[in-house]
Structure 1
């Protein structure tokens, strides 16, 4: 499956690089991109090339907050054709649902996960890639954009309860970016990357809600968006990413959620050149590598988040897919990366 993002995913890249006194053109050429290619925000480009561009640019400039600085340049309008519909939803919950609905048109590699813990909600985003790719800058960018998205819906006075980063605390000189962007408690060396918000925020009235405009926007979107832009395999892949922690990532549940039968869904996936088991394995491989890369996440917890009822079942699957056990994979990854690495 193609792993693509809109050029708009790089909004803020040029001014951020220029603000750091760096020429972005060599970085673009190194990653197989060009300024001409980036002229149209709706143009689709390689998600991996985009991630590599941000990682390489952060390395060259020595700026570990490159992704966060880019997110400060973002607005709802950068979501493209779906932005009007999303902006005028009556609550944050419905705005997030609309964001998820049009995820394949905005960024096909990014899936939003909403988890409830008592009176708190954790908003997490996962990159759905066929194989692991270093993505600290892209992850920070996505988290910064998500915070700005919520503030745009609920009003500029809104802030999350806290924001969590799996990477280590940056140097004191970089902390101003975090405080300016999030305006809340910031936790580093966390078990996950995500926003923690109040459960009540999901159903608060949105600051810009307008049902008439939202209805008009949906009509416009329906007239310009081809059904081919959202394939069955993309829809199923997103569902799998969201359902794995609950143990409900089955073809039966996905088919029911899509208003289809298992046989019909299988035919649709066949037409896309894939199968449910292929998508399930790919999602687990991507998330397994992502979770294991964080040494603070217990392997038992990784097994649960991937839908396995026991660490033994997870270990057998991991050994079959990767040729080594999860513990061996983690030890090998730790040896391959320098101690200062944030991935």
Structure 2
């Protein structure tokens, strides 16, 4: 399977493109990405398509520093749920190590490594694209994003020993020098950031020790391993896409960066079909949502991807043997009374 990234990887892409006078919708469609889908931050999309989009955007806008300009707009929240945990880590070392160890939770293309020697720490950043292609902009976005994370811990005046890129310098390196300072270097043997190892021991001033345990417990509950199966990915995508009303095998395949036949083949190997996974996911969500009296049945119908409440009621009756309203009443009566 091709590597995926969260939609959040393109956070601020629309705004940056428009500020540079290019149409983001046209360029996204050229690489097979859905502009409307960007509204769903946790949706997974093709990493290769994102890398292609960044190169195309740089060429169209005549901005060799497009990826870096996008990195400049990065925020902690773009990392997803893991951002809640690293903010509460006690020091820079534990935060960076956690970010690297779980990078597959926000970007499956990333292959980062932290090493220390002779008083220096080296954060090497790699991209695994599954095919040969230009990825200068994606690399500068990744290195720039790591640089912003380090500065968020160490302060805006912090400066690394060196910021390295394997590609050649742009015609105008002004943006690079403004963001990284005079320490940026090109045509080096690796991509990444070199800084003093002692910086890793700096305490995290954002951390609240009382929240750290809760953040860790929350993260442990949602953390996924690198060997997440295609079936797991399909389930997650269905849950994300259902409220949009555009949940289909085609949309799931597009998010996975493959064709629909590949999705069918992987599901069949697990003894499933797209319809069976869709119905199982809907059933699980329906039980949770209908049991909540604060949600209207019309709202639930939309959250489960039905075009009309009547269609939802028919489906629910077939699955549960009664209408959603009857099921809710029955569940309410079954709940034990809790007195004062």
> 1:79-120: per-residue Cα shift (whole Å, max 9, x none)?
111101111211111001111232121111102111323111
Residues of 1 paired with 2:45 and 2:228: CA distance? 21
Residues of 2 paired with 1:13 and 1:202: CA distance? 31
**Dislocated runs of 4+, deviation >3 Å:** none
Residues of 2 paired with 1:30 and 1:139: CA distance? 21
Q: TM-score, normalised by structure 1?
A: 0.63
1:208 deviates by 1.2
Residues of 2 paired with 1:181 and 1:14: CA distance? 21
1:226 deviates by 6.1
Q: How does 1:294-309 map to 2 (within 5 A)?
A: none
Residues 163, 180 of structure 2: 8 Å contact kept: yes
Q: How does 1:256-271 map to 2 (within 5 A)?
A: none
> 1:256-304: per-residue Cα shift (whole Å, max 9, x none)?
xxxxxxxxxxxxxxxxx9xxxxxxxxxxxxxxxxxxxxxxxxxxxxxxx
Residues of 2 paired with 1:207 and 1:154: CA distance? 9
Q: Does 1:121 align with 2:117?
A: no
Taking a change above 3 Å as real, the CA distance of residues 191 and 232 of structure 1, as seen in their structure-2 partners, is: same
Corresponding residue SS for 2:126: strand
Residues of 2 paired with 1:69 and 1:208: CA distance? 26
Q: Does 1:65 align with 2:65?
A: yes
Residues 85, 213 of structure 1: 8 Å contact kept: no
Residues of 1 paired with 2:223 and 2:124: CA distance? 28
Residues of 1 paired with 2:41 and 2:165: CA distance? 29
2:338 aligned partner: none
1:137 deviates by 0.3
Q: Does 1:30 align with 2:23?
A: no
1:184 deviates by 4.2
Residues of 2 paired with 1:117 and 1:213: CA distance? 33
Q: Does 1:209 align with 2:227?
A: no
2:227 aligned partner: 231
Residues of 2 paired with 1:205 and 1:176: CA distance? 32
Residues of 2 paired with 1:136 and 1:31: CA distance? 17
1:7 aligned partner: 7
Corresponding residue SS for 1:219: helix
Unaligned 5+ runs, structure 2: 231-268, 270-340
Q: Does 1:106 align with 2:106?
A: yes
RMSD: 2.0
> 1:62-93: per-residue Cα shift (whole Å, max 9, x none)?
11100000001101111111101111211111
Residues 81, 219 of structure 2: 8 Å contact kept: yes
2:219 pairs with 187, 212, 221, which one? 221
Q: Does 1:198 align with 2:229?
A: no
1:232 deviates by 6.7
Taking a change above 3 Å as real, the CA distance of residues 127 and 233 of structure 1, as seen in their structure-2 partners, is: farther
> 1:149-196: per-residue Cα shift (whole Å, max 9, x none)?
001122222221111111222123xx2211221134111121121111
Residues of 2 paired with 1:220 and 1:117: CA distance? 34
Aligned length: 231
2:135 aligned partner: 135
Corresponding residue SS for 2:80: helix
Residues 160, 184 of structure 1: 8 Å contact kept: no
Residues 12, 71 of structure 1: 8 Å contact kept: no
Residues of 1 paired with 2:65 and 2:15: CA distance? 14
2:52 aligned partner: 52
Unaligned 5+ runs, structure 1: 235-272, 274-343
Residues of 2 paired with 1:171 and 1:151: CA distance? 26
Residues of 1 paired with 2:229 and 2:192: CA distance? 26
Q: TM-score, normalised by structure 2?
A: 0.64
